[in-house]
Amino acid sequence: MSSPAAPSRATPADHVQGFAPVAAADARILVLGSMPGIASLKQARYYAHPRNAFWPIAGAVLGFDPSQDYPERLAALQRARIALWDVLQACERPGSLDAAIRPDTLVANDFAVFLAEHPHVVRICFNGGKAAALYRRHVLPGLDAGRSLQYVDLPSTSPAHAAARFDEKLAAWRQALTLPA
Q: Confirm if 51 and 159 have CB atoms less than 8 A apart.
A: yes
Out of 34, 52, 127, 157, which one is annotated catalytic?
52
Q: Confirm if 49 and 159 have CB atoms less than 8 A apart.
A: yes
Q: Confirm if 98 and 130 have CB atoms less than 8 A apart.
A: yes
Residue 113 C-beta-side C-alpha neighbours within 13 Å = 5
What residues have CB less than 8 Å from 1, skipping those under 6 apart?
none
Q: Which of 14, 48, 65, 38 is nearest to 157 (CA)?
A: 48
Check if 127 is active-site.
Answer: no
Q: Which residues are catalytic?
A: 52
